[in-house]
A and B are shown apart, each in its own frame.
Chain A
Amino acid sequence: MSLQAFSASRALSIGVELELQLVNTHDYDLVGAAEDLLRLVALGDKPGEIKPEMTDSMIEVSTGVCDNYGMLLEQLVDLRDTVADAARRLNIGICGGGTHPFQDWGERRIVDRPRFHHLSDLYGYLAKQFTVFGQHVHVGCPGADVALYLIHGLSRYIPHLIALSAASPFVQGHDTGFQSARLNSVFAFPLSGRAPFVETWTDFGAYFEKMTGTGVVASMKDFYWDIRPKPEFGTVEVRVMDTPLSLERAAAITAYIQALARYLVVERPIQPAEDDYLVYTFNRFQACRFGYAGTYVDPETHWHCPIADEIDASLTRIEQHAIELGVDHVLGRLRQAVREGRNGAAWLRERHAAEGNLPEVVMAQCTRWMEGEVV
């Protein structure tokens, strides 16, 4: 089986997918309500999509293709209001966060769709353990080779994106010590991790054919890479983020990715090399475990510094591009959050210390997600 052609898309257009948690409002455990919610939501002619996910206490909302941050935020707010309204009619809560803090994975049910049943048969309990919630961001690329350049360029910013979005410190009722424990669930899958180091679509096609030849994969969907090309959309898809606790943070992270992509594509500041990936899993782990306080190792200079400093530096590097894209104010607020050490994981731990129990933390998460934050 050969790889499909890479469709062209508007350069630097953006789109977001968010996996969301459905919880009951009695004890705030996950609840199997995806089918009920999907029956109720009607987007009408508004852009975007609301879809089921692997288990029945998850849904995924996705925007259409957006030109800029303003358009994206507007679509996300519409999607949020639509699902929040349906959720209120069902007396359930919807929230962000990369994991549900105390659900029992054994109680999850696989959604009745052929693809999910297939995955459940293949992966066994991993499928139910995959009840974790991520944010995926698509960035439009004018061509396939640019997409591969962008994949290798953005892979240096994986720790930044993990630290900014980290919102999964609790798993199965315990504090894991991680800021993003969700990515540990993703790592259990055999085809997770990073994309191979190839720089042209021809070479990528050759790799893909070798893989399908082994019978291990049938389509691009079988790769669970942190960043992967999405040829049918003509985009690069960044998949390392936890779903943030608020839609505003999700939109800000998307703006950051868009500005990074513009910087990379326009300035071509790096020469990608296989050796860039020597520090990749170390950096990724540091970000998951310690968030902003983790150590970042520069792939070229091997310089060590806190991830927070490197995010700050990156925001300075891409400032001009942020201004061109009209998101400098958004990234300014993000910089402030980094300096104050604010992310989802920190907030969840604060709430837990204040409330003393996890159900009340989830209740606060629902309010934060459904009612939004002042931008």
Chain B
Amino acid sequence: MESPSSLSLWPAFLPLPAFDPFLGFALALVFTALVGEVLARRATLPRVSGYALAGLVLGPLVTGWFSAVELERYRGLVDLALALLLFELGVRLDLRWFRANPWLLAASAAEAALAFLLSLGALLAFGMDWSPALLLAAIALGTSPAVVMRVTAELRAEGQVTSRLLALCALNVAYSVILFTLLLHLARGVAGAGWLQALWQPFYLVAGSLLVAVLVAGAFALLRRLFNPASEQGVVVIFGLLLGALAILSMLKLPPILAPLLAGVLVKLRDPRPQLWAQHFGSLGGVLVVALFMFSGAALYIGHFGTALLLALAVAVARSLGKLGGVLVCGRASGLSTAKSVALGLALLPLSGVALLLAYEAQLADPALGAQVLPVVACLVAVFGVLGPVVSQRALIHVQENRKGEEA
């Protein structure tokens, strides 16, 4: 047998190349972006559906390009992408609107409460225990802020359904995170971890996030005097600010969801001037968004299917009915036509990154509980992460709020 070195073109004096896992990530990113682009051009579907679909294919469920360990490695990237989108969503929420139109708050409470109660009922009816059922229902009442931001941006959507979609989404994300934390720690309180601890946690979540949000919003206001947020340097400053906030949140063991959202809300409340930065902070933010959706798709395991699928379908139906019903009940009073209320209810359906983050948190806190919650959430995200954006997009086109793309 000839020695390999005599055949190889590789010079012996160079070290043999070792596979860098980052290459795998880079290729996956290119593949994901391509799938999104092809779906958008050929089928006029939202790009985020393509990203999530590509993630599904790359994840452990289909090809196994990403393993669970690798997903954890890029967690920081996902957190930053989400924080950027949540901050932007917060800036779109003007609290003064609720004073002028309190029925909007009623609509928000109704759609979230109905989605929660109907999902809970469905899970209990299918024989799930109270603890995981409550946690799942708390996750299911939310809407994916990332999907909503992406879909509206892609359509350049503007109008009543769009602005209500963004407002209700911001609110139900906040409800979902707070309620989830409360229920998770109550469940553990029941299991003997102590009641004081159970009640302290949600308070800590809200107070801690608010504190970080005040810091971020204050720093933003100061920096805005020096930088134009629409300029390239301005975007770098905002990135830095949010990265710092994420670091502090991680030190304080707080989820990276509520604080960026609240920070955005505070920025708009303090300064109603238009915030003119590039949507999703330009191309750098765009890369993070692709990664975010790729990972949310890749989080599905083969073991997730089975009974979890059935439960997820039950929640899917219950949650859809809840959101539609809640929005319709308050539609007229809040000043929205029935057709637009239906569109709003449908547009609120996407579920994605935040739901997964919460499910992971449940698993971390209590692996036994997490084992019941995570599979159902993963199935829900597979359904509402891929199809949800399509429903949102069609709903907005139907009510003619898209300024880009086809005329309905």
Contact = CB atoms under 8 A, between A and B. Distances in A.
Nearest to A25: B94
Contact of A89 (B100, B272, B400, B407): B100
Contacts of B273: 360, 363
23 contacts: A25-B94, A26-B163, A26-B274, A31-B159, A32-B401, A36-B159, A39-B335, A39-B337, A40-B335, A86-B335, A89-B100, A89-B101, A89-B335, A90-B101, A90-B335, A91-B97, A104-B403, A109-B400, A109-B407, A357-B276, A360-B274, A363-B272, A363-B273
Contact of A24 (B100, B158, B276, B337): B158
A369 interface: no
A203 B97 CA distance: 57
Contacts of A101: none
B276 A36 contact: no
B77 interface: no
Interface in A23-45: 24-29, 31-33, 35-36, 39-40
B92 interface: yes
A107 B403 CA distance: 5
Interface residues of A, number: 26
Interface in B105-131: none
Interface of B: 92, 94, 97, 100-101, 156, 158-160, 163, 272-274, 276, 335-337, 340, 400-401, 403-404, 407
A363 B273 CA distance: 7
Interface string A106-127: 0101000000000000000000
Contacts of B336: 36
A359 interface: yes
Contact of A88 (B100, B163, B337): B100
Nearest to A91: B97
Leading 6 A-B pairs by shortest Cβ distance: A88-B100, A359-B274, A89-B101, A107-B403, A91-B97, A36-B160
A357 B276 CA distance: 9
Nearest to A362: B274
Contacts of A90: 101, 160, 335
Given A32-B158, A88-B101, A25 B272 contact: yes
Contacts of A88: 97, 100-101
Interface of A: 24-29, 31-33, 35-36, 39-40, 56, 86, 88-91, 104, 107, 109, 357, 359-360, 363
Nearest to A27: B274
Contact of B400 (A28, A32, A357): A32
A49 to B, nearest CB: 20
Contacts of B272: 25, 363
A60 B156 CA distance: 26
A109 B276 CA distance: 24
Contact of B100 (A27, A91, A359, A363): A91
A91 B100 CA distance: 8
A89 B98 CA distance: 8
A33 B400 contact: no
Contacts of A28: 274
Contacts of B156: 107
Contact of A91 (B101, B276, B403, B404): B101
Contacts of B92: 26
A109 B406 CA distance: 12
A121 to B, nearest CB: 15
A29 B158 contact: yes
Given A39-B337, A40-B335, A359-B276, A91 B158 contact: no
